[in-house]
Amino acid sequence: MKRLDQYVLSSFVKVFIPTLLVSIFTLMMQLLWKYIDDLVGRGIEWYYIVELLFFWSAQVVPMALPIAVLLSSIMTFGGFGEHYELAAMRSSGVSLYRIMRPVIVLMSLIAFGMFFFSNNVIPVANFKGENLLINISRQKPAFNLTPGVFYDGIDGYSIKIGGKDENKIYDVFIYDFSEDTRKQNKVIMAREGVMRLIENESWLEFTLIDGHSYEELPASRRDDREDGLHLKSSFDETILRISLVSLAQGNLGEVNRRRHFRMMNVDQLVVAYDSLVDQLAVRQDAMAEVMTHKYWFNEVNVDSSYELSRGPHFLETVPPSLRKRAIENGRRTAQNNRSQYADQKDEYDYREEYMARHLIEWHKKFAVSVGCLILFFVGAPFGAIIRKGGVGFPFVISIVIFLIYHVMITTFEKFGRQGSLPEFWAVWLPSLILLPIGIFLTVKAARDSSVLDAESYLRPFRWIVQRLKARKQNERATDTV
């Protein structure tokens, strides 16, 4: 039996390893196309690009591994069935479960290894990959600027460009809301410009050409606010310098990036989630206290000589001459409260979604490993049933099954982020849906049932049709007599 185990195991590994490498390469190309225009031909050393691709390859493993497991299991056991090797094994008294046993042991080891990889390797790779992208963007200031999209990676500024070439940018739009503007809107627009880092990369300098600036002036009177006082100026060439000292402190991006849930292991995710729960509770308590004090006034500025009582007949205790003013103040307060409630609701929704992402990421580190095992129990018996090896039909079937699995993962995860599903079900439902299918196919393949034989499913309908025809013939014979 050792020779049989070695043969089955070697046949599976010979298909699994190339399939996994091809899957990783194909999925990695999707990330490469996103930055291909910025990485190639921009003067970036080739080894930095290779290092970045190496980090990206770790990110796609959780998606590439299930594809490789499903495809290789269908191809291996389908090849056994196509070449009658599976029939020979079973005719000698070896069951399908016994034939699958060495691969099951291997898949269990792969599942444990996948969990270790997801928990310890991928977070570090994501962290280093993001930092490398930041460092590249500092070497090439225009790297992170995508034409037509606002870039807010620099505190106090939002920048949009229409196009770029190396460090030269076109159709520049800079929105300045830093402290120097004293909370007034300031906008700078230019036809083109050049970006470069100066003074040991502590300042980002824009040399802007052919543009104008717009700045709102602070209004000291209410009439000035309605008039909208502003200052507009044009320039042929100007220089704008933005400090990057805050970005250069310590290891670039380390503190902020470490807080991202994709860069944490299971222990860090638990700690971060507990911290987020405490922060949300503090914000809710603070909001409740603020709104409680705003709803009931301890001091009424209408007239201190009147003693006002709270309750539904509050307005009757207000002097008639002051009721209109009290109503206006109450209406204004209610509008402000409603606006504040709406803002707080958006903040709570964001916090709850961010908390849900931490729990989803925690469950995904376990679900990927379990999903690989379940897909094996779907693919191996499926291949034994269809008895087709090679790359043709098994490849099509595996892609269809994986697409269904991936669509379920994406859909349920979206429901989990929105709060429509608990995080546990949002992650585990795809695996739980495929689990009975895998058990059904394994049992049918072990019993050599014709589960995919169309004749077995059409036989009951044909029996019904024959019975109906026979009844009609009997009725005609009876009428003739």
pLDDT at residue number 306:
43
436 or 153: which carries more pLDDT confidence? 436
DSSP state of 263: G
393-418 and 46-82 helices, crossing angle to 10°:
120
Q: Do residues 207 and 194 touch, judged by C-beta distance below 8 A?
A: yes
Each as own residue / partner, the long-range contacts of residues 294-298 (CB below 8 Å, 24 or more positions apart, any chain) are 294/333, 294/337, 295/337
How far is 324 from 318, CA to CA, in rounded Å?
10
pLDDT at residue number 302:
44
User: pLDDT at residue 249 above 80?
Assistant: no
pLDDT at residue number 184:
58
Question: Can you tell me the mean pLDDT for 308-324?
Answer: 67
User: pLDDT at residue 31 above 80?
Assistant: no
Residue 304's pLDDT band, with cuts at 50, 70 and 90, is very low
Q: What is the pTM of this model?
A: 0.66
Percentage of residues of the chain with pLDDT beyond 90: 18
> Which SS3 state, helix, strand or coil, does residue 152 take?
coil
Q: Which of 245-249, 364-368, 455-459 has the highest mean pLDDT?
A: 364-368
How far is 243 from 203, CA to CA, in rounded Å?
5
Q: Do residues 375 and 70 touch, judged by C-beta distance below 8 A?
A: yes
CA distances from 299 to 288, 294, 333, 440, 465 (A): 19, 11, 14, 73, 88
pLDDT at residue number 477:
72
Mean pLDDT value across the chain: 79
463: tokens are 């029996």
Q: Which of 58-72, 192-206, 276-290 has the highest mean pLDDT?
A: 58-72
Residue 294's pLDDT band, with cuts at 50, 70 and 90, is low
46-82 and 320-386 helices, crossing angle to 10°:
50
Q: Do residues 194 and 170 touch, judged by C-beta distance below 8 A?
A: no
Q: Which residues contact 24 (CB under 8 A, 6 or more apart)?
A: 57, 60, 61, 64
Q: Do residues 133 and 39 touch, judged by C-beta distance below 8 A?
A: no
Dump the DSSP string for 206-242: EEEEEEEEEEEPPPSSHHHHHHT-EEEEEEEEEEEEE
Burial of 128 (0-12, 13-18, 19+ CB in 10 A): middle
How far is 332 from 479, CA to CA, in rounded Å?
91
Residue 445's pLDDT band, with cuts at 50, 70 and 90, is confident
Domains of the chain, residue spans: 2-139+360-449, 157-246
Burial of 437 (0-12, 13-18, 19+ CB in 10 A): middle
How far is 263 from 441, CA to CA, in rounded Å?
38
pLDDT at residue number 213:
85
464: tokens are 């019904």
- How does pLDDT run across 460-480, given as a tens digit for each residue? 777 888 888 888 887 777 766
47: tokens are 């080894």
How far is 76 from 380, CA to CA, in rounded Å?
8
Q: Which residues contact 119 (CB under 8 A, 6 or more apart)?
A: 265, 266, 365
> Which SS3 state, helix, strand or coil, does residue 192 take?
strand
User: pLDDT at residue 235 above 90?
Assistant: no
385 closest CA partner among 436, 442, 430, 333: 442
445 or 321: which carries more pLDDT confidence? 445
pLDDT at residue number 253:
36
Q: Give the end-to-end CA distance of the chain in Å, rounded to a whole number.
A: 70
> Which SS3 state, helix, strand or coil, does residue 247 take?
coil
pLDDT at residue number 139:
54
User: pLDDT at residue 115 above 90?
Assistant: yes
